[in-house]
């Protein structure tokens, strides 16, 4: 057992122990994390995933601010019961423009990865204002104030610029037109929606709440929720080619 | 630590000490139990087996896929295929039969209702209520009044394409905002609201002014007799079943702001068999025509 006795070197010298721990942890990182950055199979090739529109991005910020991720995941795991309930399992490509991603780790409420389009805008608004009005047994808190708070989007261009630095393909045009696009996405009958959809394919314009406030936080959050999981074109997605 | 050259054996236990001593008390260097050590070695050997059988080692060009060729995504596909086989014959029969055949075959209809009920709980109950009772703005599916028709085929069309869903084949048709868009004056709205209330709540008051407004503005969709029209989703106004409330204040609100609820198109989100089962289930809730 003399080889094991060499371990005493680590036990006796704190610096040697520190370096030893670093080496072991680095091996773990090299093997488990590093390959994700170069393996082509990490992010699937899919059609349809696009950056968030400015309004959806602002809604996503509300989602993060209110801590929705604490109770709702956005990750349908590749398990039979999850696919049966929520739809196709989540793909890495679907959160490639998320910084940070909203996968979550706990479900007090249901998964939201594919909630987009599942219910109507009216339902989402009613449910946010008072979840019990549509789901009697719900324990979700009310977020009625979102409908009365004006959306602060003064910094949306800065947010988009930072995301562009992180690799989200926002063009200078998209960033420059952010304010216009926010208003366009809340005016379904306006001709500016055409430009919005040109920049952000499949973007859906939502009727705004129509109160005194032009753009509410609820408008933004609903726009975000209504596009979750709805961008990938699964008709063009090859399940067999993306087994892993 | 153990100093091999100057090993100090504890007299009482016969075990080596670590050489540390505090006030005459020495620390024993008791070896790890053999059973524990062998389990540790076994797990290390197990890991090598795992590396060979399952995807494990990242390489510059990809990763080892393992001798078994297992993938988590492949596994869920296989599970789903198994599930299909398990549900098997009955689902196949759903897929092959028309809605009328399903509802005429007692055994198949019973299966479709059970299958539909579980899909309803997950997908429809958030709006229509767990028993299909509906609520303000969300139609009651137990009543025998249907906005878009209550036959099996009509229910099926509504489920597949939705209403005001953006689907090109979806139901279209909105209640205009007669007040907001200036189509009717405040007085006209008040008069027609009185008339509409009187349709289900007979009154002795004179509602002829409202009737005139109704005939010119509302009858094209709701019909001269106000019995509604399922082609444009115009509800029957002569019953006590109301989607947005039948009191005068609610009716005025409807007239001023217009209405138009959204039902998503379920095509693509649910498979065709599930939609068929849901159709039969909803049809059986009480109001199917």
Same domain, B86 and B146: yes
pLDDT of amino acid B3: 47
- One domain, residues B145 and B198: no
Q: Which CATH code of 3.40.50.720, 3.20.20.80, 1.10.760.10, 1.20.120.80 fits the domain covering A54-242?
A: 1.10.760.10
CA A80 to CA A85: how far, in whole Å?
9
Same domain, B279 and B229: no
Are B220 and B141 contained in the same domain?
A: no
Domain CATH for B80 = 1.10.760.10
Would you state the pLDDT for residue B40?
96
B93 and B138 housed in the same domain = yes
Which chain B residues contact residue A127 at CB under 8 A?
126
Residue spans of chain B under pLDDT 70: 1-6
Residue B212, domain member (yes or no): yes
- B76–A204 CB contact, under 8 Å: no
* A239/B73 Cβ within 8 A: yes
User: A117, A203, A225, A232: best mutation site toward chain B, by most B Cβ within 10 Å?
Assistant: A117
A134 with B127: Cβ contact below 8 A: yes
Identify the domain containing residue B267 by its residue range. Answer: 73-170+263-284
Cβ distance of B264 and A239 shorter than 8 Å: no
Tell me the pLDDT tens digit for each residue of B7-31: 788 888 888 888 888 898 888 888 8
Q: Is residue B53 part of a domain?
A: no
State the distance between the two ends of chain B, measured CA to CA, in whole angstroms.
Answer: 87
* Nearest CB neighbour to A12, from listed B1, B72, B264: B1
**Taken in order B93, B126, B160, B254, is the CA torsion positive or negative?**
positive
CA-based nearest residue in chain B for residue A13: B1
Q: Which of A33, A44, A118 to mutate to probe the B interface, most B CBs <10 Å?
A: A118
User: Does B118 fall in a domain?
Assistant: yes
Which ipTM did the prediction report?
Answer: 0.76
- Tens digit of each residue's pLDDT (9 = 90 or more) over A2-36: 666 788 888 889 999 999 999 999 998 888 888 88
What pLDDT sits at residue B2? 46
Are both B117 and B248 inside the same structural domain? no
Residues from chain A that touch B54, judged by Cβ atoms under 8 A, are none
Instruction: Select the residue of A12, A39, A78 nearest B76 (Cβ to Cβ).
Output: A78
Average pLDDT (A86-106) is 92
Q: Are residues B62 and A204, on separate chains, in Cβ contact within 8 Å?
A: no
Contacts of B187 (CB under 8 A, 6+ apart): none
Q: Chain B interface residues facing chain A, Cβ-Cβ under 8 Å?
A: 1-2, 4, 55, 57-58, 60, 62-63, 71-77, 79-80, 83, 122-123, 126-127, 130, 135, 137-138, 166, 261-264, 269
Q: Which of B126, B253, B281 is nearest to B193 (CA)?
A: B253
DSSP B75-97: HHHHHHHHHHHHHHHHHHHHHHS
- Tokens 């429809």 identify what position? B124
pLDDT at residue B4, as a whole number: 52
The verdict on residue B176 lying in a domain is: no
pLDDT digits (tens, 9 = 90+) for A170-200: 999 999 999 999 999 999 888 989 999 999 9
Same domain, B246 and B274: no
Is-contact B252 B210, C-beta < 8 A? no
DSSP letter (8 states) at residue B19:
E
Residues B105 and B238 in one domain: no
pLDDT of A40 > 60? The answer is yes
Does residue B204 sit in the same domain as residue B252?
yes
Q: What is the pLDDT of residue A70?
A: 95
Q: Residue B175: helix, strand or coil by DSSP?
A: strand
Q: How many CA atoms lie within 13 A of A149 on its CB side?
A: 14
pLDDT tens column, A105-156: 899 999 999 999 899 898 999 999 999 988 888 999 999 999 999 999 999 9
Which of these, A205, A228, A238, A225, lies nearest to A47 by C-alpha position?
A238
When pLDDT is cut at 50, 70 and 90, the band that residue A68 belongs to is very high
Q: What mean pLDDT do residues A28-52 have?
A: 85
Terminal CA-CA length for chain A: 43
Identify whether B141 is part of a domain: yes
């Amino acid at each position: 057992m003399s080889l094991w006795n060499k371990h005493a070197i680590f036990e006796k010298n704190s610096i040697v122990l520190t370096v030893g721990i670093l080496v072991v942890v680095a091996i773990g990182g090299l093997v488990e994390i590093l390959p994700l950055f170069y393996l082509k199979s990490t992010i699937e090739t899919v059609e349809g995933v696009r950056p968030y529109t400015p309004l959806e991005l602002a809604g996503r910020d509300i989602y993060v601010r209110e801590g929705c991720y604490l109770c709702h995941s956005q990750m349908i795991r590749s398990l039979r019961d999850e696919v049966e309930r929520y739809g196709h399992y989540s793909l890495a490509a679907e959160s490639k423009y998320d910084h940070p991603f909203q996968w979550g780790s706990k479900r007090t409420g249901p998964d939201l990865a594919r909630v987009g389009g599942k219910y109507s805008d009216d339902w989402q608004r009613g449910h946010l204002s008072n979840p019990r009005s549509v789901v009697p047994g719900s324990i979700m808190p009310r977020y009625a104030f979102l409908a009365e708070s004006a959306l602060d989007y003064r910094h949306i261009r800065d947010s988009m610029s930072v995301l562009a630095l992180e690799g989200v393909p926002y063009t200078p045009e998209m960033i420059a037109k952010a304010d216009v696009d926010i208003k366009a996405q809340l005016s379904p009958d306006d001709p500016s929606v055409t430009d919005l959809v040109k920049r952000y394919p499949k973007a859906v314009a939502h009727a705004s709440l129509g109160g005194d406030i032009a753009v509410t936080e609820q408008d933004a959050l609903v726009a975000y929720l209504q596009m979750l999981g709805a961008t990938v074109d699964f008709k063009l997605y090859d399940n067999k080619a993306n087994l892993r | 630590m153990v100093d091999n050259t100057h090993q100090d054996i504890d007299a009482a236990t016969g075990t080596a000490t670590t050489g540390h001593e505090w006030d005459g008390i020495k620390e024993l260097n008791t070896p790890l139990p053999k059973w524990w050590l062998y389990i540790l070695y076994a797990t290390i050997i197990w890991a090598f087996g795992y590396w060979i059988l399952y995807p494990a080692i990242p390489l510059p060009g990809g990763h080892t896929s393992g001798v078994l060729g297992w993938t988590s995504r492949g596994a869920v596909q296989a599970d789903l295929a198994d599930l299909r086989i398990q549900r098997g014959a009955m689902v196949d029969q759903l897929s092959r039969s028309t809605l009328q055949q399903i509802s005429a075959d007692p055994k198949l209809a019973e299966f479709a209702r059970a299958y539909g009920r579980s899909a309803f709980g997950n997908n429809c109950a958030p709006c229509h209520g767990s028993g299909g009772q509906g609520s303000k703005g969300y139609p009651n599916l137990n009543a025998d009044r249907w906005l878009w028709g209550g036959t099996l085929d009509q229910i099926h069309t509504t489920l597949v394409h939705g209403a005001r869903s953006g689907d090109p084949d979806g139901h279209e048709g909105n209640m205009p905002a007669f007040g907001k868009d200036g189509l009717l004056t405040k007085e006209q709205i008040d008069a027609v609201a009185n008339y509409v209330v009187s349709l289900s709540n007979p009154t002795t008051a004179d509602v002829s002014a409202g009737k005139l407004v109704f005939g010119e503005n509302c009858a094209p969709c709701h019909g001269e007799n106000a019995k509604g029209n399922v082609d444009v989703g115009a509800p029957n106004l002569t019953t006590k079943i109301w989607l947005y409330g039948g009191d005068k204040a609610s009716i005025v609100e409807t007239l001023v702001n217009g209405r138009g609820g959204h039902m998503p198109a379920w095509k693509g989100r649910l498979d065709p068999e599930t939609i068929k089962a849901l159709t039969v289930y909803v049809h059986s809730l009480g109001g199917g025509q």
